[in-house]
Chain A
Amino acid sequence: MDALALARLQFAVTTIYHFLFVPLTIGLALTVAIMETIYVRTKNPAFKTMAQYWGRLFLINFAVGVVTGIIQEFQFGMNWSSYSRFVGDVFGAPLAIEALLAFFLESTFIGVWIFGWDRLRPAAHALAMWLVAFGTSVSAFWILTANSFMQEPTGYAIVHGRAEMTSFGALLGNPQLWVEFPHVLLAAFTTAAFFVAGISAYFLLRRRNVEMFRSSMKIALTIGAIASLLIALNGDAQAKHVVRAQPMKMAAAEAVWNTQNGSAPWTVVAGIDQAAGKNTFALQIPGVLGFLSGTNHFLGIDQLQKQDVQKYGPGNYLPPVAVIFWSFRIMVLAGGLMILLAWYGIYLMARRRALEGRRRYLALLLPALGLPYVANTFGWIMTEIGRQPWVVYGLQKTMQGVSNTVSTGEVATTLIGFTVIFGLIAAADVYLMVRYAKAGPENHEPSPEVPLETAAVL
């Protein structure tokens, strides 16, 4: 593999890994803030215990999200310096603003939250977690402002071969941002909901701390049901927007090779042969594509390729179709399952059925903990791979963005290094998560003191 391929792989590895932790951070901050607020309002100590229990799991996850985020701030310059030179005027601003407005807020008030239980009044302490939750959402907003520019550049002009910002308002008013930001935020809330629901199900199945986990489950299912349903509505709007803004991405996502007019069929599954430029088989539902895409004139991959050649010059403008097609379906399927599971839980709650008696449902919620992670990951794979061959849609190709002074060996070194470290961190993280989740709310103090002499390893 050459430096470009390794740099792309590194971006995929570091960013996908980072985003395994981010949504839970965003969603769980909100969940814990809600729990602690109930405690402050009701003075019921059970909710304090609840907030502390989920807070402990939050902190383990938060730490990994933070440290893997540092790489994001550096790697544009390290591996993608030509890209950074090209878009820095526009792209650097949201990153700097993210650090200033969001990172300071999150990191300061998480410190206050961890260490402030006995130094602040309960309401002020709960406010600290609300500020953390707010900070994580602000962070998402600015990084997605930057990402939206890559998907759909707005508010810029090309001057001397570089993209220069001409309108900050247009950067913030980017229509892509306003479909993407709600999508990511709602996905984060859903992630936390299924995380809390999955672990609560574990305890309810074992009839341990039933009171607390029943309440946790209710909070989680309420958040999950609302958020997952809103994502579906938002996702529909997003898809219709992308059909217009990045037609090639949606053409690939639907594996439509030739332009479809009128009531065209929607492809459920297909065998995709990119080399031949056709589907080897396709299972289709007639007449639905127009409804889903919001257009009666759905441009096909072949026509878009010809358009792009006219517009941008000779070249291959096809992203890897099969990857996008399947990523899209996996994301939607995972999302659909989450809607069903969350709303079935709401149905049970509405019928005043005891959740702890629904053992098959609870048993389903355990593996369902993985669903948001699947949806989040494949959603981003579709979004980022679907933008190829562009790094900034229509302005710069990915191959033009890579650092031209960094050698293949150097990228390989850092790629291997980060992968190994991420593997070790993942092992420690999962170990601690499982341990602390299973320990339950009683285990208040993390762990006992180590005998004095034995600890002195150094």
Chain B
Amino acid sequence: MDLNTLWFILICVLFIGYFFLEGFDYGVGILLPFIGKTDVERRAVIQTIGPVWDANEVWLLTAGGAIFAAFPQWYATMFSGFYLALFVMLVGLIARGVAFEFRSKDERPRWRGMFDWLIFFGSLVPALLWGVAIANIVEGVPIDAHMNYVGGFFNLLNPYALVGGLATLLVFTLHGAVYLTMKSEDEIRERARRASYKVGWAAAGMAILFVAYSAVRTDMFDKPGVGMLPGIVAILAGLSLVATRLFLDRRREGWSFISTGVAILLVVASVFLTLFPRVMVSSLNPKWDLTVYNASSNPYSLHVMTIVAFTALPIVLAYLAWTYWIFRRRTSIKQVMHY
């Protein structure tokens, strides 16, 4: 395997980490106003992701940095092309990050209510926009011969992309609901459980619609070289969502969380399988696609980055796992609140 392919896989892994981990804290943020009926309950809900949300977001920053370092042309085309969409996402991420820290630092109900809204929208917006982005990336966007995106903002908001957006939004919400069920106690746990059922149907339905739509709009099911493989992986993701419900019925909360997580993992894998070796698909001319070869850094850069990544990643993963172990207990409305 060449280094270009290795970095394509590494970036796929970083996105899996990002969507798996921050996926549930987006979900928790979206559910916050509905599951937390009182102030203390909301604080308990935020507490479930309190120690980890910030590190979860770093997966996105690392993925962005890795794209810049390994495939600068991909970084330049995507970030300048999806300009206003990224701006809206940044606004969401900024608002939510500040909101977690500032929310409980003033006791006026209006202050806290405002930041609860910011957490809600700041979680909802990226959850939605990632599906929009994914749909556009696999379907292809207008890219000219100079690797420049030549479509506008509204080009990105076609029906297929909106289905993709709703799919990620609902799947992340489900993932968050299941996480909350697993990490909370008493009433919050019961409400999160009921929300998992309600959202579960919608998430599974929208995910199936997205896969079916993808069969029409992309080469997910008839890709030269790999054939139906990306499509099959996507269908497995849908089955994993069904398994979530079966585990919930048996009150196996940990397993149901793993199965929403596996669904997310498989969706990302399917997207990257569909793309490879492309990183950005040009809807104007297949010759103008960005690939892991024409968009990459030189072999020396990739070599250096590979050494750094394989040295650092095991250490990072070890202390991340340790954090989840330290904070493995369920949170309760009776404990001391830090947020």
**Do residues A100 and B298 form an inter-chain contact, with CB atoms below 8 A?**
no
Main secondary structure of the interface of A (DSSP, over half): helix
Interface residues of B in 300-322 (CB under 8 A from A): 300-301, 304-305, 308-309, 312-313, 316, 319-320
Give how many A-B residue pairs fall within 8 Å (CB-CB): 259
**Do residues B55 and A455 form an inter-chain contact, with CB atoms below 8 A?**
no
Chain A residues with Cβ below 8 Å from B224 are none
**Do residues A115 and B102 form an inter-chain contact, with CB atoms below 8 A?**
no
How far, in angstroms, from A97 to B319 measured CA to CA in the complex? Answer: 17
Chain B residues with Cβ below 8 Å from A273 are none
The answer, yes or no, to whether A44 is at the interface (CB within 8 Å) is no
**Do residues B65 and A96 form an inter-chain contact, with CB atoms below 8 A?**
yes
The answer, yes or no, to whether A313 is at the interface (CB within 8 Å) is no
How far, in angstroms, from A386 to B218 measured CA to CA in the complex? Answer: 49
> Which one of B78-86, B179-187, B203-211, B228-236 is at the interface?
B78-86
Interface residues of A in 56-87 (CB under 8 A from B): 59-60, 62-64, 66-68, 70-71, 73-74, 76-79, 81-82, 84-85, 87
Chain B residues with Cβ below 8 Å from A454 are 109
How far, in Å, is A301 (CB) from chain B's closest CB? Answer: 34
Per-residue CB proximity of B64-97 to A under 8 Å, as 1/0? 1111111111011111110110110011011101
Chain B residues with Cβ below 8 Å from A78 are 79-80, 83, 86-87
Chain B residues with Cβ below 8 Å from A84 are 68, 72, 75-76, 79
Do A104 and B83 form a contact, CB below 8 Å, given A63-B98, A457-B116? no
How far, in Å, is B157 (CB) from chain A's closest CB? Answer: 15
The answer, yes or no, to whether A285 is at the interface (CB within 8 Å) is no
**Do residues B300 and A166 form an inter-chain contact, with CB atoms below 8 A?**
yes
Do A455 and B109 form a contact, CB below 8 Å, given A89-B297, A104-B58, A112-B51? yes
Do A100 and B327 form a contact, CB below 8 Å, given A92-B70, A115-B338, A447-B104? no
**Do residues B58 and A107 form an inter-chain contact, with CB atoms below 8 A?**
yes
One of B40, B50, B68, B150 near A95 (C-beta < 8 A): B68
One of B101, B107, B113, B116 near A60 (C-beta < 8 A): B101
**Do residues B57 and A107 form an inter-chain contact, with CB atoms below 8 A?**
yes
The answer, yes or no, to whether A168 is at the interface (CB within 8 Å) is yes
How far, in angstroms, from A457 to B38 measured CA to CA in the complex? Answer: 9
The answer, yes or no, to whether B219 is at the interface (CB within 8 Å) is no
Do A428 and B297 form a contact, CB below 8 Å, given A74-B64, A88-B69? no
Do A458 and B33 form a contact, CB below 8 Å, given A63-B97, A93-B305, A107-B54? yes
Q: Which residue of B lies closest to A102 (CB)?
A: B58
Q: Which residue of B lies closest to A71 (CB)?
A: B90
Do A70 and B61 form a contact, CB below 8 Å, given A104-B316, A115-B327, A164-B301? yes
Q: Which residue of B lies closest to A78 (CB)?
A: B79
**Do residues B301 and A93 form an inter-chain contact, with CB atoms below 8 A?**
yes
**Do residues B297 and A77 form an inter-chain contact, with CB atoms below 8 A?**
no
Chain B residues with Cβ below 8 Å from A458 are 33-34, 113, 116-117
> Which one of A208-216, A245-253, A399-407 is at the interface?
A399-407
**Do residues B298 and A85 form an inter-chain contact, with CB atoms below 8 A?**
no
How far, in angstroms, from A105 to B317 measured CA to CA in the complex? Answer: 11
How far, in angstroms, from A78 to B64 measured CA to CA in the complex? Answer: 12
Q: Which residue of A lies closest to B104 (CB)?
A: A446
One of B68, B100, B148, B327 near A96 (C-beta < 8 A): B68
Chain A residues with Cβ below 8 Å from B108 are 450
How far, in angstroms, from A109 to B323 measured CA to CA in the complex? Answer: 8
The answer, yes or no, to whether B105 is at the interface (CB within 8 Å) is yes
The answer, yes or no, to whether A282 is at the interface (CB within 8 Å) is no
**Do residues A413 and B87 form an inter-chain contact, with CB atoms below 8 A?**
yes
**Do residues A82 and B76 form an inter-chain contact, with CB atoms below 8 A?**
yes
Q: Which residue of A lies closest to B117 (CB)?
A: A458
Per-residue CB proximity of B39-65 to A under 8 Å, as 1/0? 110100000001110110110011011
Do A455 and B73 form a contact, CB below 8 Å, given A78-B80, A78-B86, A99-B58? no
**Do residues A103 and B102 form an inter-chain contact, with CB atoms below 8 A?**
no
The answer, yes or no, to whether B106 is at the interface (CB within 8 Å) is yes
Please give the residue numbers on chain A whose beta carbons come within 8 Å of chain B beta carbons, in ascending order: 59-60, 62-64, 66-68, 70-71, 73-74, 76-79, 81-82, 84-85, 87-93, 95-101, 103-105, 107-112, 114-116, 118-120, 159, 164-166, 168, 403-406, 410, 413-414, 417, 421, 425, 428, 432, 435-436, 445-458
Q: Which 5 A-B pairs have the closest CB atoms?
A: A88-B72, A77-B79, A457-B113, A92-B69, A96-B65
